[in-house]
Structure 1
C-alpha cells in the first residue's frame, strides 16, 4: 500500500494563498531541533508527528525521540524502512510507509499543544538539469534544498496534522481509536483555544534566525562552488600537463592538449596550431569539436593581415572577445575577421599565444558558437595561459629530444665514416706501399736484374705512387669543398671542350685496350655554360672514371647533353656495366660509400669521387643523381649545370 499524494500539495488546496519558501537542510535541521527542544523543555503534553523520509535520517534523531516519547503519549514517527524500521508501538508509534510513497521526498514535523502550535511541511527539490551534475554530486548534504511552509499558525498546523494522521491510519488501522483521540484532543476547537490563551507568537524572531541560517548556507554553497571550480581547474591543468609530458611527439602533444582543453572548458570548438611571428598563414591540424559544430581542420588560417594576431605579437598576451558583433577591433578591420567569424560561426572568441622565453611557438583558440555570447572570466583565461605555457615547454622538450636524436644519428654516421676511413685508407695505402716496397727492394738487392725487368719494376712503383697521390688528393679536395675553402672562378665555357679535356685525362691514365667504347651525343648549337672550368672537368673526369671502372672493355659509355630549358643543361653519362641496386642509388654519393664494401672490391678507389662530384655540382646550384635498373643493368649519372647569361655572371661575382 502506498500513497502518491503529496501532503504539501493537499495542504495548499486548503490554503491557496500560502507561498512556498526555499530552505536548505541545515536550516530545517535547526528549525526541527528548536521545535523538539520546545517540547523537551515544557511540561505539557503535545501532539508530535515527524516524517523522516528514510530510515537512515530517522536513526540520526532516534535518541531525541526516545526522550520526546516519554513526554507525550501522542508521538508518531514515520520513515521508509531500509533495514530495521517497521510498524511498532513502544515509547512512541512507528509507521513504516512504502518506499514509493510521496513521503520519501518530504520532510514534516508538527507540534501542537494547548498553548502553542507550529509545523514544518516541506518536500525536497531536486537539482534541475541545467545545473552541473558533477557539481551537484559534490555538494554537501546540508546543501540539499527543500520547498515548503514553516509556520506558527495553528490553523495550518492542525490541518497538516489531520492530513498526516489520516495517512498514518491508512498504514496502521489498529491505531484508529488513538488517532481519533489525538484529533479530538489537539485539533478540535483550535479557535477557542487561541482566544482563551495568551499565546506569544515567536514568528518574527524565528524568521530572522532562518534568514541568518539561509544566508550562511548560501555563503557555504558559494565557497563550495568556488573550491569545486578551483579543484576542477587544477585537475584540468594537471591532467593536461601529465598527458603532454608522457609524449615526445609534437603532433601528439598538440592533439592531447586540444582534446583536454576542449573537454575541460566545454567550448564549441578548440584549435591549436603551430606558427611563428613571420608566418603568412597557419594550417589547422589539431581541433576539438562539440556536437553540431562544423570542422575547420585542414583549412588555412590567415596571420599576416590578421589584426588580432598582430596585436598578440605586440602585447605578448591573450585576447578575449566576449561578443564579436560589438568588439571594436573587429568593427575596425572586418575584412578578414568577418569572413572567419562567419565561416566558423564564432560568437565569443579567446586567443592565447603559446610562448617559450618570448618566442612564439603557436596559438590556442577557443570558440563559443551558440547564439548567446559568453563572458570569458579572468580565472579561465589565466588557466588557458597556464596550459599554453605547459604546451610550450613540452614542445621545446620534444624538439630538443628530436634534435638530440638527429645529433646521435649524425654521430653514428660519423663513427661509421671514421671506421670506413680507417678501413679504406689502410687498405688503399697498404696495397700500393707494399708494391712500391717490393719493387724498390728488388731494384736495390738485384743488381743483375735485366733492363727490361728493371723497367717493369720502376713503372709499377710509379703507377702505385700515383695511386697514393690520387688518394691523398681526393681527401684534401673533399676537405676543402666541405669546409668552403675553395675559391671559385666561374666563367662562360664550352661544355664540349670540357668533355674533351676530361676524356684526354681518362685516356692518359687508362690502358687504351681496356677502355670501353665512349660515344658523345652533343648538339653543336648548345649554349655556353657558367662554371669553374677546372672543377667542371673534375666532375666529368670522375664520372667517366667511375663508368670505366665498372664497365668492361666490350661495353659502351655514352655522354649525352640536352637542354632542359633556357637556363639549364642536363649532362648524362650512361654505361651498360655492372649497375646499381635501386635501394642504394641515394647512398652512392655518400663519403666512403662503395657498393661492394670497403675490403671486398674488385675495383679500387676511395669512395670519395661521387661525394666530391656532389659538392662541386651543389656549389653552382645544380643537381646530381643516379639511375639504374639493378645489377648488371647498367647505370646513368645525371647532373645539371646553368647556362651562361649576364645574370649568372652577376650572381657568381657576388658569391
Structure 2
C-alpha cells in the first residue's frame, strides 16, 4: 500500500461523509418532528451509515476503475509484450497516466527510429542499385556491340573486351567490399593480430600510391623523420587497408601540387594516434555526420569519376572499431581534412 492514501480512498471518504451528513440531518429532522430525538441513535445511525457508504462506494469505484484500466492494459499487451504487462494493475490514475506516457514516449521513439532506418534502407538499396547497374550496363553495352559484328574487327574487339573486363573488375571490387563490410558488421571477420612497425607500413603505402599521387603532383610525406620504429599490435593487412583508403581519399580530393602528411604520435601510455592530413577541398559540416555511411559521397559526380566503391570510409570505420579503437575526422572547407585513428602500442 502506498504511504499516502489512495485517491480512490479520499474520494470514498469524502463521499461517504457527505452521504452520512445528509442522511443524519434528514433523520434528525424526522425525529425532531416526532419529538423523540435520541443522541445515541443519531450517532449510531451516522457511524453505520458512514461505514456502509464507504465500503459500497470504495468497492464500486475500485471495480469501475479496475475494469477500465484492465482494458487499457489488455489493449497495450495486444500491441506488444512490455514491462507494463509484467506489473500489477494499478487503479491509481497518476501512476497509470505516468506508465501510459512512458509507453507512448517509448513507442514514439521506436517509430521514429524505424522511420530513420527505413529511409536509410531505401537510400542504401538505391545506392547499391546505382553502383552495380553502371558497370553492368557498361559491360553489357560492349558485349552487345561485339555480338552485333564488332568482334570481327580485331582492334575494336580487343579494345571493347578490355573495357568490359574493367567493368567486371569494378563489379568484383564493389561485391568484395560489400562482402567485407557485411562480415565486419556481423563480427564474422576475425583479426590476425601481430606486432609490426607502423612507420614501415605507412612508407610501404606511400610507395604503393606514389604513381597515383604524382598524377596530381601531390607529395606524400611524414610530418618528421621517424628514425626509430613505432611498434603497434593490430591486424597488419587491415591497417594497411585503412591507411590505403585514407591516403587514396586524400589524393582523390586533394589539391593539385598539394600534400598528404602522416604523423604518428604517442597518445597515452599504451596508445598511438595516426593522423592523415591533407590540404584539399575539405568537407562541409553538414556532410561530416554521414561521412562513414555506406555509399555516401561528398561530391557524387566527382567521386564517381575517380572510381571506388563508395564503401572505403565505412570499411575503415568498421576495421578500426573491430580493433576496439576510435577514428576521428576534422575538416574545413577549402582548408583540408584530417583523419586520425588510435592503435594499441606494442609492449
Give the distance between the partners of 2:303 and 2:340, measured in 1 at CA: 27
What per-residue deviation string (whole Å, max 9, x for no partner) do you get for residues 344-386 of structure 1? xxxxxxxxxxx756589xxxxxxxxxxxxxxxxxxxxx866x9
User: What is the match of residue 70 of structure 1?
Assistant: none
Match of 1:143 among 20, 24, 32: 24
- Distance of aligned partners of 1:397 and 1:554 in 2 relative to their CA distance in 1, 3 Å threshold: same
Q: CA contact under 8 A between 1:617 and 1:623: conserved in structure 2?
A: yes
- Distance of aligned partners of 1:634 and 1:221 in 2 relative to their CA distance in 1, 3 Å threshold: same
Give the distance between the partners of 2:273 and 2:303, measured in 1 at CA: 34
- Distance of aligned partners of 1:469 and 1:217 in 2 relative to their CA distance in 1, 3 Å threshold: closer
Match of 1:409 among 116, 121, 127: 116
- Distance of aligned partners of 1:495 and 1:528 in 2 relative to their CA distance in 1, 3 Å threshold: same
1:643 aligns with 2:315: no
Give the distance between the partners of 1:629 and 1:238, measured in 2 at CA: 62
User: What is the match of residue 633 of structure 1?
Assistant: 335
User: What is the match of residue 65 of structure 1?
Assistant: none
1:580 aligns with 2:287: no
User: What is the match of residue 297 of structure 2?
Assistant: 594
- Distance of aligned partners of 1:466 and 1:517 in 2 relative to their CA distance in 1, 3 Å threshold: farther
Match of 2:49 among 217, 220, 235: 220
Q: CA contact under 8 A between 1:517 and 1:553: conserved in structure 2?
A: no
Match of 1:422 among 125, 129, 136: 129
User: Larger Rg: 1 or 2?
Assistant: 1
Match of 1:521 among 220, 223, 242: 223
SS at match of 2:178: helix
- Distance of aligned partners of 1:455 and 1:146 in 2 relative to their CA distance in 1, 3 Å threshold: closer
Cα shift at 1:619: 0.6
Give the distance between the partners of 2:273 and 2:148, measured in 1 at CA: 50
What per-residue deviation string (whole Å, max 9, x for no partner) do you get for residues 598-617 of structure 1? 79954333210101111100
1:496 aligns with 2:325: no
- Distance of aligned partners of 1:506 and 1:403 in 2 relative to their CA distance in 1, 3 Å threshold: same
Give the distance between the partners of 1:387 and 1:423, measured in 2 at CA: 54
Cα shift at 1:459: 6.3
User: What is the match of residue 292 of structure 1?
Assistant: none
- Distance of aligned partners of 1:555 and 1:427 in 2 relative to their CA distance in 1, 3 Å threshold: same
What TM-score do you get using the length of structure 1 for normalisation? 0.42
Give the distance between the partners of 1:408 and 1:591, measured in 2 at CA: 18
Give the distance between the partners of 1:436 and 1:553, measured in 2 at CA: 37
Q: CA contact under 8 A between 1:574 and 1:635: conserved in structure 2?
A: yes
What per-residue deviation string (whole Å, max 9, x for no partner) do you get for residues 107-166 of structure 1? xxxxxxxxxxxxxxxxxxxxxxxxx8776555553323999xx99xxxxxxxxxxxxxxx
User: What is the match of residue 8 of structure 2?
Assistant: none
Give the distance between the partners of 2:52 and 2:136, measured in 1 at CA: 85
Cα shift at 1:389: 7.5
Cα shift at 1:400: 5.0
The structure with more strand, counted as a fraction of residues? 1
User: What is the match of residue 5 of structure 2?
Assistant: none
The structure with more helix, counted as a fraction of residues? 2
1:474 aligns with 2:177: yes
Give the distance between the partners of 1:599 and 1:431, measured in 2 at CA: 19
Cα shift at 1:592: 1.1
Give the distance between the partners of 1:234 and 1:443, measured in 2 at CA: 88
- Distance of aligned partners of 1:428 and 1:559 in 2 relative to their CA distance in 1, 3 Å threshold: farther
Q: CA contact under 8 A between 1:515 and 1:548: conserved in structure 2?
A: no
What per-residue deviation string (whole Å, max 9, x for no partner) do you get for residues 385-428 of structure 1? x9767865764565355334423432332222111111222124
Give the distance between the partners of 1:434 and 1:511, measured in 2 at CA: 32
- Distance of aligned partners of 1:496 and 1:438 in 2 relative to their CA distance in 1, 3 Å threshold: farther
Match of 2:250 among 533, 543, 547: 547
- Distance of aligned partners of 1:626 and 1:440 in 2 relative to their CA distance in 1, 3 Å threshold: farther
User: What is the match of residue 560 of structure 1?
Assistant: 263
Where structure 1 has 5 or more consecutive residues not aligned to the other structure, the ranges are 1-131, 152-202, 246-354, 361-381, 646-655
Cα shift at 1:460: 5.2
Q: CA contact under 8 A between 1:580 and 1:628: conserved in structure 2?
A: yes
Q: Determine which structure has greater relative contact order: mean sequence separation of CA pairs < 8 Å that are 6+ residues apart, divided by chain length.
A: 2
Give the distance between the partners of 1:383 and 1:608, measured in 2 at CA: 55
Where structure 2 has 5 or more consecutive residues not aligned to the other structure, the ranges are 1-12, 75-82
1:483 aligns with 2:186: yes
- Distance of aligned partners of 1:597 and 1:230 in 2 relative to their CA distance in 1, 3 Å threshold: farther
The root-mean-square deviation of aligned C-alpha atoms, in Å, is 4.6
- Distance of aligned partners of 1:462 and 1:412 in 2 relative to their CA distance in 1, 3 Å threshold: closer
SS at match of 1:471: helix
User: What is the match of residue 612 of structure 1?
Assistant: 315
- Distance of aligned partners of 1:635 and 1:243 in 2 relative to their CA distance in 1, 3 Å threshold: farther
- Distance of aligned partners of 1:586 and 1:644 in 2 relative to their CA distance in 1, 3 Å threshold: same
Give the distance between the partners of 1:610 and 1:466, measured in 2 at CA: 20
Give the distance between the partners of 1:626 and 1:134, measured in 2 at CA: 68
